[in-house]
């Protein structure tokens, strides 16, 4: 791929890829064409591990957004009229291509968002899973027949595609979080305009477009406008064309996106932040709880909405749990995600690092004790375990989104529930106990969309409802639940006999 991006820097990892458009990634994907950046401003994408430039993409403008929506609108009806097996087949072919390009994708996850091989494997599997489930939706649940209270009438509920779907996604699991909307939307006969995060325009958008292009998706059904959220986000999310605005990202930005969408009569589907509690009851198996706690806190540097944000541990197990978790944290290999065996890579950017380090320092000032880690170098933050934490400390009461494990003691199950629920968020959580009925009582009392007993919160299965309550979002993704969002039901009644009207 010589000469891509007109890029002056040393060899970029994107030049090694088998998957790439002919003219490189410095383009928008509109109406099946790779539209060069031209005189648009450029977004410089950086490798967070090496802090070296990776690639450039165009910074799409509001006019680009208008054009993308107009193209999607124009393409949608013809696409919806294609036979369902054709729509399903294209999504299934895209799924197969993800497998073929798995090595390229792993490279891209490493250099674009600092993801290690383990994370690349998870993400590729999740993206494949959502495509498998999504492709199946094309052939499922075309509608229903309902009895009528009016003699001689037949009621039909016909399921139709919603229309044009706007999709905004973040940088942490970019390919998966985009695919989990794009794949079912396309299978169900919608068209899509996708705005990936500015840090991950390739894995979050342009690579997905390339894969669907190779899978044979007709022009105009999927359009990708890389761009800065603070520049085009308001215009994108308040646009009059889309019927659905599927947003994954922070609660703060999501609230504005939802308000703008509703202002344009667009249905919002919001997957937002979390402050997930990992609760270890007094009768828990500590070793199991520590294993789960380490995985849930440090995977992808804690940068998942469903990562453990707080560990709540019964006071009788507290010291043993903290020592076990600190031991696990100290053993995790940190480094460049492309080096074999690395388990902890960099966080995405300086502002995230500064936010995480700020929460750490303020919590330490307020009495928290560092049991492991605590240092940072560049964008690498050591997996850090904090003891003597109270629920109101900055590392605990905020979504820290880093490799940080604040551990809070509690005395009773009721107190654990109260602390866990003491947040506006309500995404995921976990409860450890040797008594499943007791854990189930706690799970029932947690104000979250998801709870995992004797596991940790970091779970997503593409055929199971995913989502949160409160500041963690509105609606559910995956399978039949995202199908409800991405389709609309039309009531068609047929009056088969003359009807008697009152006058
Ligand atoms: P963010 O909200 O800053 O950005 C997410 C997306 O929104 C990006 O594409 C960004 O460009 C765009 N954006 C920014 N300003 C916008 C605006 N005014 N209008 C429209 N779009 C705009 O989030 P982030 O920091 O990149 O991602 C991390 C957050 O995402 C965390 O809070 C995390 O919990 C959440 N998240 C949630 C889920 C979930 O499924 N619930 C999954 C992953 C991440």
Pocket of ligand 1 (CB under 6 A): 168-172, 177, 195, 197-198, 229-230, 233-234, 236-237, 248-250, 253, 256-257, 271-274, 305, 399, 401, 427, 473
CA distances to 67, 117, 168, 194, 300 from 234, in Å: 16, 35, 11, 14, 29
Catalytic (active site) residue 16: no
For residue 487, what is the DSSP state? Answer: E
SS3 109: helix
CA distances to 113, 244, 340, 380 from 50, in Å: 11, 38, 16, 10
11: number of Cβ within 10 Å: 9
Distance CA 305, CA 117 (A): 20
CB 379 within 8 A of CB 350: yes
The closest residue, in CA terms, to atom 19 on ligand 1 is: 233
- Domain shared by 71 and 192, yes or no: yes
Within-domain flag for 407: yes
- Domain shared by 473 and 394, yes or no: no
The closest residue, in CA terms, to atom 42 on ligand 1 is: 305
- Domain shared by 263 and 280, yes or no: no
Within-domain flag for 7: no
- Domain shared by 226 and 349, yes or no: no
CATH number, domain of 336, equals 3.40.309.10
- Domain shared by 268 and 282, yes or no: no
- Of ligand 1's atoms, which has the minimum distance to the CA of residue 477? 40
Report CA(19)–ligand 1 centroid distance (Å).
26
- Domain shared by 255 and 221, yes or no: yes
Report CA(122)–ligand 1 centroid distance (Å).
20
CA distances to 53, 59, 280 from 8, in Å: 9, 19, 52
- Domain shared by 180 and 84, yes or no: yes
The predicted pLDDT at position 1 comes to 37
The closest residue, in CA terms, to atom 8 on ligand 1 is: 197
The predicted pLDDT at position 393 comes to 98
- Of ligand 1's atoms, which has the minimum distance to the CA of residue 251? 32
The predicted pLDDT at position 10 comes to 44
The closest residue, in CA terms, to atom 9 on ligand 1 is: 197
CB 184 within 8 A of CB 134: yes
Host domain of residue 201: 27-34+54-272+468-489
Ligand 1 pocket test: which of 113, 229, 262 has the largest number of ligand atoms within 8 Å of its C-beta?
229
Number of structural domains (the chain) is 2
- Domain shared by 395 and 264, yes or no: no
Query: Of 408, 428, 453, which residue constitutes the final position of a domain?
Result: 453
CB 352 within 8 A of CB 319: no
The predicted pLDDT at position 11 comes to 52
- CA neighbor of 217 nearest in space, from 84, 98, 124, 79: 79
- Domain shared by 189 and 329, yes or no: no
Ligand 1 pocket test: which of 115, 170, 424 has the largest number of ligand atoms within 8 Å of its C-beta?
170
- Of ligand 1's atoms, which has the minimum distance to the CA of residue 234? 19
Distance CA 17, CA 120 (A): 15
Structure tokens at 136: 């199946």
- Domain shared by 260 and 288, yes or no: no
- Of ligand 1's atoms, which has the minimum distance to the CA of residue 273? 34
- Of ligand 1's atoms, which has the minimum distance to the CA of residue 204? 9
Ligand 1 pocket test: which of 253, 306, 350, 458 has the largest number of ligand atoms within 8 Å of its C-beta?
253
Report CA(247)–ligand 1 centroid distance (Å).
7
- Domain shared by 224 and 284, yes or no: no
The closest residue, in CA terms, to atom 35 on ligand 1 is: 249
The predicted pLDDT at position 9 comes to 44
Report CA(477)–ligand 1 centroid distance (Å).
16
Report CA(121)–ligand 1 centroid distance (Å).
23
Catalytic residue among 123, 213, 267, 271: 271
- Of ligand 1's atoms, which has the minimum distance to the CA of residue 399? 32
SS3 208: helix
Q: pLDDT tens track of the chain, all 503 residues?
A: 333 444 444 457 787 788 889 888 999 999 999 999 999 999 999 999 999 999 999 999 999 999 999 999 999 999 999 999 999 999 999 999 999 999 999 999 999 999 999 999 999 999 999 999 999 999 987 789 999 999 999 999 999 999 999 999 999 999 999 999 999 999 999 999 999 999 999 999 999 999 999 999 999 999 999 999 999 999 999 999 999 999 999 999 999 999 999 999 999 999 999 999 999 999 999 999 999 999 999 999 999 999 999 999 999 999 999 999 999 999 999 999 999 999 999 999 999 999 999 999 999 999 999 999 999 999 999 999 999 999 999 999 999 999 999 999 999 999 999 999 999 999 999 999 999 999 999 999 999 999 999 999 999 999 999 999 999 999 999 999 999 999 999 999 999 999 999 99
Within-domain flag for 14: no
The closest residue, in CA terms, to atom 39 on ligand 1 is: 271
SS3 437: helix
Structure tokens at 90: 């294209």
Within-domain flag for 20: no
Report CA(471)–ligand 1 centroid distance (Å).
13
Distance CA 225, CA 12 (A): 22
CATH number, domain of 216, equals 3.40.605.10
Report CA(328)–ligand 1 centroid distance (Å).
30
Within-domain flag for 12: no
Within-domain flag for 472: yes
- Domain shared by 183 and 281, yes or no: no
Within-domain flag for 175: yes
The predicted pLDDT at position 14 comes to 84
Within-domain flag for 18: no
């Amino acid at each position: 791929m010589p000469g891509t991006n007109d890029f002056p820097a040393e060899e970029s990892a994107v030049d090694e890829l088998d998957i790439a458009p002919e003219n490189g990634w410095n383009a928008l994907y509109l109406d099946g064409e790779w539209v060069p950046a031209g005189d648009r401003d450029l977004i410089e994408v950086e490798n967070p591990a090496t802090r070296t430039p990776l690639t450039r993409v165009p910074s799409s403008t509001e006019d680009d957004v208008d054009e993308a929506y107009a193209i999607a609108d124009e393409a949608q009806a013809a696409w919806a009229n294609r036979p369902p097996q054709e729509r399903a087949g294209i999504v299934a072919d895209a799924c197969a291509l993800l497998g073929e390009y798995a090595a390229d994708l792993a490279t891209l996850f490493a250099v674009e968002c600092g993801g290690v091989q383990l994370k690349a494997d998870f993400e590729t599997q999740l993206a494949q899973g959502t495509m498998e489930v999504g492709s199946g939706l094309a052939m499922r649940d075309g509608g229903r027949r309902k009895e009528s209270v009016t003699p001689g009438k037949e009621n039909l509920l016909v399921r139709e595609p919603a229309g044009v779907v706007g999709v905004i996604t973040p940088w942490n699991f970019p390919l998966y979080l985009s695919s989990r909307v794009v794949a079912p939307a396309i299978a169900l006969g919608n068209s899509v305009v996708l705005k990936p995060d500015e840090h991950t325009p390739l894995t979050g958008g342009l690579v997905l477009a390339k894969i669907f292009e190779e899978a044979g998706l007709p022009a105009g059904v999927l359009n990708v406008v890389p761009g800065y959220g603070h520049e085009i986000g308001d215009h994108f999310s308040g646009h009059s064309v889309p019927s659905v605005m599927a947003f994954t990202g922070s609660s703060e930005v999501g609230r504005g996106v939802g308000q703008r969408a509703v202002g344009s009569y667009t249905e919002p589907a919001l997957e937002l932040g979390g402050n997930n509690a990992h609760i270890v009851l007094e009768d828990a198996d500590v070793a199991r709880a520590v294993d789960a706690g380490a995985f849930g806190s440090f995977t992808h540097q804690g940068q998942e909405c469903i990562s453990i944000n707080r560990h709540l541990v019964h006071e009788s197990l507290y010291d043993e749990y903290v020592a076990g978790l600190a031991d696990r944290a100290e053993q995790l290999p940190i480094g460049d995600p492309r080096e074999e065996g690395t388990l902890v890579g960099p966080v995405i950017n300086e502002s995230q690092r500064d936010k995480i380090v700020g929460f750490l320092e303020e919590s330490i000032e307020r009495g928290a004790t560092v049991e492991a880690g605590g240092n940072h170098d560049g964008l690498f933050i050591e997996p850090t375990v904090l003891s003597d934490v109270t629920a109101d400390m900055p590392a605990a009461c905020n979504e820290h989104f880093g490799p940080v494990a604040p551990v809070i003691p509690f005395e009773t199950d009721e107190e654990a529930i109260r602390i866990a629920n003491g947040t506006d968020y309500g995404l995921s959580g976990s409860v450890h106990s040797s008594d499943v009925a007791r854990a189930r009582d706690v799970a029932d009392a947690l104000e979250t969309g998801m709870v995992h007993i004797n596991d940790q919160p970091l779970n997503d299965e593409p055929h199971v409802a995913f989502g949160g309550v409160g500041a963690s979002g509105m609606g559910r993704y995956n399978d039949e639940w995202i199908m409800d969002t991405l389709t609309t039901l039309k009531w068609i009644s047929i009056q088969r006999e003359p009807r008697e009207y009152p006058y």
